[in-house]
Structures are given as structure tokens and as C-alpha cells.
Chains A and B, each alone.
Chain A
Amino acid sequence: MKKKKLSLVFTYALLFLVTAYYLVPILVMVSTSLKPQGQVLSRTWEWIPRTFTVENYQYVLQQYPYLKWTTNSLIVTLGTVVLTLIVSLPAGYAFARLKMRGKNILFSMVMLTIMIPFFAYTPQLYLLITKMGLKNTYWGLILPMSTSGVSVFLFKQFIQQLPLDLEEAAVLDGCSNWGVFFKVILPLTKPAIVTSVIFTAVKSWNNLLWPLIASSNDAVKTLPVGLSVNVFQVETGLANQPPYGIVMAAALLSIILPVLLFIFLQRYFVQGIATTGLK
């Protein structure tokens, strides 16, 4: 009994330390965002703002079409996530289970997406997109971002280690490949799907380089582009220092949705949900 209590205390202590480490910079952000511009740069750092104010948030929301940018980001992120799942899940299954000639070569080619820096081919991609008439459109933002092999790789690894019994049973019952895929594999792959949704969504939400080049028009401007170009110049610490209060307010506003998404999804990480299918 004592051993169990000690390990529990230890666990709680560790948890506390870890969350403290991760929380501190976030607290810095929150504190800064609530300070009026004139007090952000005081000689000694103040955790509690001398004067609480929401003027930074008001500024960001009113001076800029913040919600339009957010909507654009939402559309692009949603589109990217959905398209990624649609193309990556079957591909992951194919690489994990199905036999075909040249599978390894094909998989290596998929892995190339992780190994070539994106900006290395940005100019060519941009020229291609323009020729296809996709410049300044949502599809122009979604399609190139759905080529990442990260999800394919994840699904392959995950499906590979699923026990084969269920698939065998389904095949013996007369299921086709697609039947096995939909009825057996998909339900079991839920944690991986959730993982893929999270990081595809986050990557798309924060993506700056491609939307910056491919769609700077107001109509499809996404949040990171709007923030970095209209609100503050992240460029480099050269001529302009960013207005920290506004930066932090804008940043905190922009992470609300992704954080909500994660809070909503993380309860799927409950032990046993993947194995219920076996019973």
C-alpha cells in the first residue's frame, strides 16, 4: 500500500513540474497580452499587469478582418485534414498489408515528402499552381498541402502492428479488400486517425510560407499570413520590434480553436478504445 501511495505522489510531483515548465512561457504570453502597450516593456518583468486591459485583443479584432482570416484558415485546415485522411488512410493500409510489385520503391518516394524542404520547390509549385489557375483560391492552398507522407507513414506503422486475426476472420467471411478496410481496419485505427487529424490540422493552421506566396489577396488570406504581414512583422529582429502586447493577444486568439480541437480529441486517448473491437 505504501509503495502505491509513494508512486502516486511521485507521479503527481512529476506532472506538476512538467506542466510548470510548459506553462511558464504561456503565462508570459497571457500576461503580456493583458498589458497596455506602454507597460509591456518595463525594466523589471511584472507577472501581474499593473493595469489590466483588453485593448490589445480589441485592437486585433477590430482593426483587422481577424475573423475573416480565421474563417479562411478554418476552411483551408478543414479541407486539408479531410483530403489528407481520404488519400492517406487507404494508402497507409495498402503499404501495410497489401502486396504489390514495387511497393517499397513507391513507399520510398512517399518518404521523400519528408526529406525535401518545402521551400526548395516552392517557386516551381507556385508556377504550376498559377498555370492551373489555382492562385488565390482555397484549392490552391489545400491540394499542395495534402501530399505529405507523414500521415501515410503513420497509418502504415500503426496498421502494421494490428493483430491479423480480425482481418483473417473478415476475409473468411467473404469480405473484399475494401470491406476489410472499412469494417475492420478503420475502427481500429482511431487513435492514429485522431493523431493525424491533430497534427495535420495544426500544421495547416500555422502554415505560413505557402499561403504567404500563394494567396496574399484579402479574399483567401489565412490567419498566419494576415498576422505576419498586416499586424506584425516577424521577419527578423531588425528594424521593427514587434508590438509585443498585440502580438501575444493575436497569438492567443489564434490558438483557441486548435486547443479546443485538442481538448475535444484527447479524450479519445483512453486505454482500451482500440481493443474493444477485438471483443
Chain B
Amino acid sequence: MFSKKRINLGSAGWFLLPYLLVYFIFFFLPALSIVPMSFTEWSIVGTPKFVGFENYKSIFNDRYFPKTLSNTFVYTILVTLILTILGLLLAILLNQKVRGRGVARTIVIMPYVISSAVAGIIWRWMFERNFGIINTYLQQLGLPFIGWLSDPNIALYSIVIMNIWWSIGFNTVTFLAALQGIPEELYQAAQVDGASSFQSFLYITIPQLKPIILYVTVLCAANSFQMFDEAYVMTQGGPLGSTTTLVYKSYIEAFKSFRLGYSAALSVITCAIIIIITLIQMKANKRSDA
């Protein structure tokens, strides 16, 4: 087999150097500081005050923390599943050789290009309970108003709906690109062997796409676990804390309440959970390779 032994450390180093340079200066050093900061109390001005595990204790004693945690997990699982599956299906759909697919692709991508703030404003407006667009049409159909963003039991799911509209472009583009990398010959050979399109999908497309599927799910999970923009623009974490996520709370603590130590502790917890989730996904991916 192809031996890579002849490549030495120095060589790989040159390839990595540009990235690592930017990385260390503008990410690693600032980002690492959130760990020591989580053990302090700091309001940006003045020196941080060491408080040991106080912040962590406060977080776990906060009566709203379990809800925040569950919100975050529910949201992440839903969004990751839906966006991955839907993204892949959409990419396949948009990959079909039909006329107008260029237009269709552009339309599906367009929401992704809109900033989260504007997307949030549009949807908040459409989701308005009293005489917003969606509810107005529901009323005309004889159905009752739905409190999309004002019903504590529904608000989080409404954000999922909005997020699917907004972010699916990312997944679709990624899968589309990956689909291009699958050699046409494989499908042709399968067709000759009498495989149905569903079988082709299962036995050719999916295996070929595995690295990219992993990429998409890891990113999706990491991103949705850090959901913030939508909650900030549409619901401010409400109603009744039903759309407060870990990152949302962390942001508020940092930039509205100026408790940076507490906020850093929340970020550390968030990061730790994401690391665990990612590791699980990567392990599962390796396992299925065998």
C-alpha cells in the first residue's frame, strides 16, 4: 500500500503553520482564558476576584438551570436530526437533472444568506399570535390561533421551524458538493446490476457520503447546541424561560448583567458538553466503519 512514512514532521508542519499561527493568537489564547475566568467574578473593569467554585455552585443551584439544559438538548436533537436528513434529501432532490433546478437551488439557499436578525424579525412577525399572517390564515380555515412564540409549550418548536427554514442552506450546499464527488460510474454499474434507486441510495450514496455526513452532524449539533440568535431576536428567552438555552443565558450574564465569571462558567459547561457529544458522534462513526 501507499506508504506515507517518507513524510516527516517538518513537512506536515509547514502545511499547518499558517493556520496554527492565526489560531493561536486570535483564538486559543483568548479562548483558553475562559477557564480561569470561570473561577472568578469580573465585570470587565478592574481585576477579577477569585471565587473558587462559587459560579459553578450557583449554576447548579439555579432553579431554572435544568429547564435551560433540557431546552438546549431538545432543540439540539431535533434540529440536528431534521436538518441532516432534510438537508440530504433536499440535496438529492436538487441534484436531479431537471430544468429549473438552478432556480430552485438558489431559492432554497436564500434564507441562509439572510442574517439571523432579519430572519428572526420576519418570522417573529409571521408568528405573531394576534392577527399575524400565519394565524390569520389559520383563522380563515376555522382553526384556532396558535401561540407560536407566546405559548411556553410551543415556542421552542417554533424556533425549530424557523431554524429549518433559515439554516438548511448550509447542509444542502455541503451535501450537494459532496454528491458531486461520487463517481457517476458507481451508479451506472448499479443500474446495470438492476438496483432500484432506493438501493442505490442506501448502498452507494450513504457510504460514499459518510465523512460528510459526520461533518454535517457534528457541526449541526455543535451549532444548535449554541443556539442564541433566534432566542435573542424572537423571544428573549421566553416565554417563561422556555426558549432559554445555555448560550443565551451565558450571553445575558456577560453583556447584560456583567457577570463574566458566571458567564464563563456556563461557557465552560457548554463547551464540555459539546466535546462529549462530538466524541460520541465520532466514535459511532468509527464503529460503523468496521
Contact = CB atoms under 8 A, between A and B. Distances in A.
Given A269-B105, A269-B177, 6 more contacts: A22-B165, A112-B271, A117-B228, A157-B215, A161-B210, A254-B115
A42 to B, nearest CB: 10
Contacts of A244: 121, 125
Interface of A: 8, 11-12, 14-15, 18-19, 21-23, 25-26, 28-29, 43-45, 83, 86-88, 90-91, 93-94, 97-101, 103, 106, 109-117, 119-121, 123-125, 128, 143-144, 146-147, 150, 152-154, 157-158, 160-162, 164, 167-168, 171, 177, 181, 191-192, 194-195, 198-199, 202, 205-206, 208, 224, 228, 234, 236-237, 242, 244, 247-248, 251, 254-255, 258-259, 262-263, 266-267, 269-275, 278
A191 to B, nearest CB: 4
Residue among A88, A94, A205 having the largest count of chain B Cβ atoms under 10 Å: A94
Given A15-B101, A120-B267, A206-B115, A147 B23 contact: yes
Q: Which of B5, B19, B180, B247 has the most CB of A within 10 A?
A: B19
Interface stretch (B10-18, B53-61, B62-70, B77-85): B10-18
Interface in B219-247: 219, 222-223, 226, 228, 232-233, 236, 247
Contacts, number: 276
Interface string B11-50: 1111110111111011111110110000000001000000
Given A91-B16, A115-B274, A234 B117 contact: yes
B12 A262 contact: no
B215 A255 contact: no
Contacts of B208: 161
Given A25-B111, A29-B122, A224-B115, A146 B22 contact: yes
Interface in B136-195: 136, 165, 170, 173-174, 176-181, 183-184
Contact of B96 (A11, A88, A125, A171): A11
Interface residues of B, number: 104
B26 A125 contact: yes
Contacts of B11: 98, 177
A147 B123 CA distance: 31
B35 to A, nearest CB: 10
Contacts of B14: 90
B206 interface: no
Interface of B: 2, 4-5, 7, 9, 11-16, 18-23, 25-31, 33-34, 44, 90, 93-96, 98, 100-126, 131, 133, 136, 165, 170, 173-174, 176-181, 183-184, 208, 210-212, 214-215, 218-219, 222-223, 226, 228, 232-233, 236, 247, 250-251, 254-255, 260, 263-264, 267, 270-271, 274-275, 278
Contacts of B12: 94, 98-100, 103
B98 A90 contact: no
Given A116-B267, A121-B34, A228-B117, A109 B28 contact: yes
Q: Which of B20, B33, B177, B250 has the most A CB atoms < 10 Å from its CB?
A: B177
List 9 tightest A-B contacts by C-beta distance, closest first: A94-B15, A191-B177, A120-B267, A91-B19, A206-B115, A147-B27, A124-B30, A98-B12, A90-B15
Nearest to B117: A234
Judged by DSSP, the binding face of A is helix
A271 B205 CA distance: 13
A154 B114 contact: no
A119 B254 contact: yes
Nearest to B232: A236
B34 A154 contact: no
Contacts of A19: 103-104, 107-108
A116 B108 contact: no
B106 A263 contact: yes
A99 B180 contact: no
Most buried by A among B11, B95, B114: B114
A109 B4 CA distance: 24
